[in-house]
Amino acid sequence: MNLSGFSFMTKFVRKVFLVDALGTGPFTGSPTFVVFLQAPLDKFKMATISHELGTSQTVFVLAHNRAYLLRFFNQFQEVPLGGHACHAVAHLIYELGLLPPGKTLTCLTQEGELTARLTPTGHIAVSFPSQNLSKMEPANLELYGSMLALTPKDITWGAITSTRQAILAVGPSVNLKTLEPDRIKLAKSGASTLAVTFATPADREYGLRCFSPNIYHPEQQVSVNVNRALAPHWARLLGTKLLRVRQFSSRGGLSEIDVTSPSRVIISGQSQTVLRADLAEVLTEDLM
């Protein structure tokens, strides 16, 4: 990997970038640390670095033949795929000139091969495998609704994804910005995410807010994984293949989504680099 223009203190020092992924400008979207590796690093060291950096996700990038191998960590453990982290990596690959604008980027993850490209508008488009939704049982509909103090009249439908993400669709009278879940109930429910959504059919757009049982990151500023299941469902209901999702998180986020393929979801948006730094050698070589 040739990071031309960026000098290394020693051959052991890793370059670290903080990227605001899928936002509408600086300090919006999901802040993500990206660590470029010159050689493989063991899992314990990556987990320790991720915990030290402290964002909801840190992604480690290693050049592998003509592709890039990605490993994703939250503050506590490795996760198979980080959606907004993929966008952050692709943004940097093109921004640093590691790949020409007209070339497709290939990323290797535990969930398989992903591709990304730089669009003419300067956005990053990443193709993810879609996920299925299952109808939520009435008892769970009542349970998750009670966590947000929603009444049955507020909720239009509910669903569960294969990765235990609970989704509630609400009517226009519900203000997503003012919602706050019962954290104790959410932690006990076993759901990995509690998402609330509504649609604006005239604009081919839907709104989304995602709460997490993680006490350190209680809200997902941008959730690609929820959209992998939710976007195809809204697309069917709205009768469109192209739509937009607006995140009503504290930082906000905006993505465009293409569900033309029956098995893929292409999520596009802008990201911005806000920090470039060196990861000191002691943090990577002397961990016990």
Answer yes or no: are the C-beta atoms of 244 and 205 closer than 8 Å: yes
The CATH number given to whatever domain includes residue 161 is 3.10.310.10
Q: Is the pTM of this model over 0.85?
A: yes
Residue 61 and residue 115 share a domain: yes
Residue 142 and residue 104 share a domain: no
Answer yes or no: are the C-beta atoms of 213 and 113 closer than 8 Å: no
β-pairing verdict for 219-220 and 205-211: antiparallel
Examine residue 162 and state whether it is found in any structural domain, yes or no. Answer: yes
Residue 195 and residue 172 share a domain: yes
Q: SS3 for 179?
A: coil
Residue 106 and residue 27 share a domain: yes
Beta bridge partners of 71: 60
What the block records as the tokens of 26 is 């600086």
Total count of domains within the chain: 2
DSSP, res 9:
S
Answer yes or no: are the C-beta atoms of 57 and 81 closer than 8 Å: no
DSSP, res 202:
G
User: Residue 43 belongs to what H/E stretch?
Assistant: helix 43-53
User: How many whole angstroms separate alpha carbon 17 and alpha carbon 5?
Assistant: 14
Q: For position 4, what pLDDT does the model report? A: 52
Answer yes or no: are the C-beta atoms of 113 and 86 closer than 8 Å: no
Residue 159 and residue 232 share a domain: yes
β-pairing verdict for 242-247 and 219-220: unpaired
Question: Which residues, given as ranges, of the chain have pLDDT below 70?
Answer: 1-13, 281-288
Residue 230 and residue 150 share a domain: yes
**Radius of gyration of the chain, Cα coordinates, nearest whole angstrom:** 19
Examine residue 204 and state whether it is found in any structural domain, yes or no. Answer: yes
Answer yes or no: are the C-beta atoms of 245 and 203 closer than 8 Å: no
Give the type of residue at 47.
Answer: A
User: How many whole angstroms separate alpha carbon 13 and alpha carbon 24?
Assistant: 32
Examine residue 8 and state whether it is found in any structural domain, yes or no. Answer: no
Examine residue 100 and state whether it is found in any structural domain, yes or no. Answer: yes
Give me the helices (H) in the chain, please. Answer: 43-53, 83-95, 138-147, 183-189, 224-238, 281-285
Residue 155 and residue 123 share a domain: no
User: How many whole angstroms separate alpha carbon 30 and alpha carbon 34?
Assistant: 12
Examine residue 39 and state whether it is found in any structural domain, yes or no. Answer: yes
Task: For residue 19, give its domain range.
Answer: 14-128+271-285
Residue 138 and residue 101 share a domain: no
Examine residue 45 and state whether it is found in any structural domain, yes or no. Answer: yes
Residue 162 and residue 100 share a domain: no
What's the gap between Cα 198 and its chain centre?
19
Q: For position 281, what pLDDT does the model report? A: 64
Q: For position 216, what pLDDT does the model report? A: 85
Q: For position 284, what pLDDT does the model report? A: 45
